[in-house]
Structure formats: structure tokens, C-alpha cells
Chains A and B, each alone.
Chain A
């Protein structure tokens, strides 16, 4: 199957799962072009410098998927299928239904390239020539240690995202709607979910918190999540901590759907998730030291209004791979450089053909002496 044929088959699936952020054929083409320079580099030798090159995709990919959000697994699978690889998915219980649903929507020709594994399989792992891992550093270390030297290893480690509103003046309903959208999607469990909202101006904090509380309250009526005991424990702990430390708090009582805390901390600390959002007042001159714990861990920054160059540069230094409008944090474009990498590119190996002509397909090619 050529890349063009795979694109043809994958495109309808992308429309069925808009969370992927890949709208269809053209996005899939762009993905391949960004990684390979052209669409057919996986199918044949293409001009490269004075000779020819061909992209070689892994024959078999072993994916270790995260348990919190389905979309990273779906996306990883789409990339594997786009490359034409066979895909072994180590899929945690929490995402097995979502992944099964996704696979059922695949056309038969692609579905046969996918196998869902309920747990780690040593044989399957050993049979793969490339490994993709989503997870915490300890998970990544574990799988890296299991890898042979000849296995390609690609990992997406833990990251945090945040909202930076700088010196925003009067908060608007539109802005609040965007923040609610960024916070609530995936129950704040993904690396693109904002862990905190940073404001420079003291004056904006309370009006924004009050508007946000209203927005989150309304949202909870439409999108309520049944809480598990361990989630409830974390949410309650975050609330008691806030009360004990004297931080202003807005929350929805025993419904446990959302929590807003105006925090006063010398440095960034992560949230426990589950729609617990911290509002932090951080003057620009203290931003660098305040964000220091995030060095190397920052992912996306949702912004509103102008972002001064000094602040932009700080975000890049901290490892940010994305700066986007408030309200779009959870919808990265198809070509997003996840963890700063060109999609697909790290899974590809190139082979060069140093001749005046490319090798002929289906035939033995003789090199001129």
C-alpha cells in the first residue's frame, strides 16, 4: 500500500475523531510532507542532493500508551499507520474501550496492522523495531532499559502547560469561556491542560476568578464527571490545603467538579488535576524564578493579548513547544511539534542511493562501474 493509498483510507477516520486535530486528507499529506519533504519518499527513492534517498519506516511499532487521555494513543496509532507500520498497542485498562472504538472505525486493510495488548508483552516488545512511550520519567526509564540497541526509541515524558494572561485588563466572557474549555477538556489530565493561570496584575485576579467560577459552574451542569474515590481525595486535599494556607477558594462542594484557588507561592507547583486550577499572581520580574521548577517540562502556553519578547524567550528556554490562544490549548494543529519534534520524523530512517538514477522498482539494479 502506498502512502497516498494509506492517506486515502485514513482520512475518513480523522473526520470521525475530531479530537485528533487532523481534519482529513490534506492534513495527512502535510504531515508526511513536513517529515519527509514529499509524499512518496516512503514508496520509492526520491531526489536528494546529488543522489537519491528513501525513507524507511519501522516495520513494527510498539506503543506504550497513557491511561489518562485517549487522544495521544489515537494520534500515535494514526502516525504509525500513515507510515505503513504494524502497530502493537500496550493499552491501559482505562483507555481500552476508547482504543477499541477507534480501531473498529479503521478500514479493514489498516485494522489488520493493529493489535491491542492488554498488558506488557515481552515477545511483542522484542519483535518491534521501534518503541514509542507516553508516560512519566520512571515509565520511560523502564522501557528504555528494556530496549535493544537496534530498536528505535521515542518517548514523550511528563510536561506541564499553563495559561499566561499577563496584564490582562477586564476579563471578558469570551476569555473565560476559552479558559473553561482549556481546563475542563480531558479533566485536566493531559500535558496540554493548564496547571495554573498566571496574571501579572493583582486587580484582575478577583474579577477573573468570579467570572471563572460562574463559567465552571455552568460547564459542570453540562459536563459532569463521576469522581472516583482517589480523585475525590486529591480534590478535597487541594481544597483543605488552600483553606489552611489562607488562599481564596471557589469550589462546587461535594460535586467535586471544579476548584479555583488564588495561590500565593514563591515558585510553581503542579496541580492535582481534575479541574483544580490555580490562579497565580506573578510579576514579570519574578516570572523566571517562579517558573524555574518547570525548566525542561513546559509544554504549551495559552495566552491572551500581547506576549512581550522577553516572556516569549523565557517560555522557549523552559522548553515550551507551543504558544497558542486561550481556548485552543487542547486542539493543537496537526503539525504541532510535540515536545519540540517534527511529527513522524523521528520514526524515520533514511537510506541513500548514490547513483545517477534511482534503483528501478521490482528489478535488480546494477551500479555503473
Chain B
């Protein structure tokens, strides 16, 4: 491959081809959490490539004096920009997959264009594997619509990849927007009777009806089963703290709260972070890093300080690798403690906000 001035291989064209993308994945797999220079080299190379195809990133780099000197200097692009702009690197190519954000602002969703889901498939399975989520050894029950029913949901796609690659039974229990609670509980009861471990994975909001379902005694899932929740209560009004939620899950399914998995990802990213327990520290795979930024200063928070999560995800090759979220977290030595969506500002009296306009 051609060498650029920086000494890193030029992937600009290669990343548009399956072989080049597969090779990029190999590079990602070769990284370790301690490999600062390896991460930096790939991050800066990818940043340079993306700046050619994504004008907003190019403008941000120009405003900050050109190609950054280190991966921490790569300007994170606000999530909001995915709603306003088409962030897609490959020139003259058509994205084969588009993931869209959901929630209260669905009228103008954020859109993540992917040339292909190959790398997303690879990192979302490998990332969970490396985190220790035992998704390959148990029957899988997903509380999300299937990828066929929700082709624009990145979460459904990820669980779809797990389902494809697992040799065990798997099923998506949300159909036509409704959770088949009876069917799911019957399947779980059967698994309990047979002693077959299961993985129950879904959004926190989808898990709530199972806690609220008081018929019968708690379903103590067989040993080696796992629970995975994701997404918190994004924009929903249910008031339940994370510890209370995890305790309720523990009571219902017999899996200790400290062992419940929390997945943290988003439509605009390819990689995910995982934690265990209500106060767990989220950790990213070696090919992604998270910075916790102090909004007052714009600088990285010290350990123990609260700020906003910014990702640098080397698997996000088709759009932008650095993304500023609106999620709050506390910086930890080897990860971060996720607090959730930044609190909305106080009600703005009678002044109109973007959210109001979108929802009206």
C-alpha cells in the first residue's frame, strides 16, 4: 500500500473495498488497551482520510490549525450534526445501510450512513466477546424488533449479528412494536425448567414491563444466564434509578445486580462500551477511547470529575471517528461511570426550543 507522508498506509481507497476494510479490522484487533502509539497512529490516519470526504470535519480541523498532533486533539463532532449533515466518507459510493436515531426527536432523526455493515458486524461481536459478555454460550432473547422489522436500528442490527453468529437459539420478542410478553415468559419458564441458560438483552424501557409483571413467582434464570440492558430510559418519563432498576431485575430474574451488563453505544458509532452492575465502570474495546470533557473549559476531566462523553472510535470509518455526545459521565482511571443523558435545561418558560419545535 502507498505510504503517506506520515508513514501510515493510505487507506483512503482501501477502506472503500471489502479487503481493505477487513485489513483495517485486523489492525484494530491487534491493538491493546495500552497501545497508545498504535491507537494514535490509526486515529490520525483515519482522521486525515475522513477530512477529505467529510466537509464538516475538514472545516473543524482547519479552524483548529490543520491535522491534529495527537488523537486527543481530533475535534469531536456533535451528535446533532448527524441530523443536519450527511457525514459519509466514500466518494462516489452509495451507502448500503443507514441507521437512524429514534426517540422523541424522530421527526428529524440523526442518520449514520455506512458503506457496509461488515466492520460494524465485526466490532459489535468482537467487542462484546472481549468485554466478557457470554453471548455465544446461551440462548438469546432480544427485547428489540428484529433487524428485518427495524432495518434502521443499529441496536437491532447488532443483536442480529449476535444471533447470526451464535449456534444457540435466539429470538426477537418485539413484533409490530409490541413486546410478546406471554411468549417470552413462556420461553423463559421453559428454559428454567430445562436448566438452559439464557441471555436476556434489551433496552431498559423494554425490560420494565417484565419487572412490572407480577404474575407468578420470580423467574430465577438458570446459572450462566446473563442480563444486558442498554439505552437507559432515553427521554422517557419513568422515574426509576439505575440501582433500583437493577435490584428489581435481580429480584425478578435471580441474577445479582452486580453482574447485570450495561451496554453503551449509539447509532452514530460502531463500537460499544460495557459495564457490569449499577455503579459499574464502562470500558471500551482497545480500538475505541472515550474522553470525558468539561463543558465549561472544553478540556479533559480529571479522574472523579463529571463531564460529557466524547468518543474516538476507530471502527467508525465511513463517517467521523470522533463524536461529542450529550451523555454525562464521571471520569475513572480505566473508563468512565455513565450517568446518562445530560439533564435538560430548566423549562424555558415560554421560550421555544428546538425540542419543542420538533415535537410540535
Chain B residue with the shortest CB-CB distance to A155? B350
Chain-A contact segment, one of B34-42, B52-60, B148-156, B244-252? B52-60
Chain-B contact segment, one of A165-173, A175-183, A232-240, A351-359? A232-240
Chain B residue with the shortest CB-CB distance to A265? B84
Q: Give bound CA distance, A69 to B347, whole Å.
A: 10
B351 in contact with A158 (CB, 8 Å) = yes
Q: Give bound CA distance, A210 to B326, whole Å.
A: 31
B349 in contact with A244 (CB, 8 Å) = no
B353 in contact with A270 (CB, 8 Å) = yes
B77 in contact with A159 (CB, 8 Å) = no
Chain-A contact segment, one of B8-16, B163-171, B268-276, B293-301? B293-301
Choice from A138, A157, A269, A270 contacting B350 with Cβ under 8 Å: A157
For chain A, residues 239 to 298, give those with C-beta under 8 angstroms from any C-beta of chain B: 240-241, 243-246, 254, 256, 269-270, 272-273, 293-294, 297
What size tier do the contact residues of chain A reach? 35 or more
Report the minimal beta-carbon distance from B111 to chain A, rounded to whole angstroms: 16
Q: Give bound CA distance, A227 to B295, whole Å.
A: 10
A297 in contact with B349 (CB, 8 Å) = no
Instruction: List the A side residues contacting B295 at CB < 8 Å.
Output: 229-230, 232-233, 236
Query: Does residue A189 face the partner (Cβ distance < 8 Å to B)?
Result: yes
Known interface pairs A229-B295, A243-B59; A135-B347 also in contact (CB < 8 Å): yes
Known interface pairs A233-B342, A237-B80, A241-B81; A189-B349 also in contact (CB < 8 Å): yes
For chain B, residues 130 to 171, give those with C-beta under 8 angstroms from any C-beta of chain A: none
Query: Does residue B352 face the partner (Cβ distance < 8 Å to A)?
Result: yes
Q: How many cross-chain pairs have Cβ atoms below 8 Å apart between A and B?
A: 133
Query: Does residue B119 face the partner (Cβ distance < 8 Å to A)?
Result: no
Choice from B56, B75, B351, B356 contacting A68 with Cβ under 8 Å: B351
Judged by DSSP, the binding face of A is mixed
Choice from B75, B306, B342, B349 contacting A72 with Cβ under 8 Å: B349
Instruction: List the B side residues contacting A273 at CB < 8 Å.
Output: 345, 348, 351, 353
Query: Does residue A41 face the partner (Cβ distance < 8 Å to B)?
Result: no
Known interface pairs A232-B296, A254-B298; A135-B56 also in contact (CB < 8 Å): no
Query: Does residue A39 face the partner (Cβ distance < 8 Å to B)?
Result: no
Instruction: List the B side residues contacting A312 at CB < 8 Å.
Output: none
Query: Does residue A94 face the partner (Cβ distance < 8 Å to B)?
Result: yes
Residue ranges of A at the interface with B (Cβ–Cβ < 8 Å): 66-69, 72, 92, 94, 134-139, 156-160, 188-191, 193, 195, 227, 229-234, 236-237, 240-241, 243-246, 254, 256, 269-270, 272-273, 293-294, 297, 299
Residue ranges of B at the interface with A (Cβ–Cβ < 8 Å): 55-57, 59-60, 63, 75, 77-78, 80-81, 84-85, 294-298, 306-308, 324, 326, 342-354, 356-357, 359-360
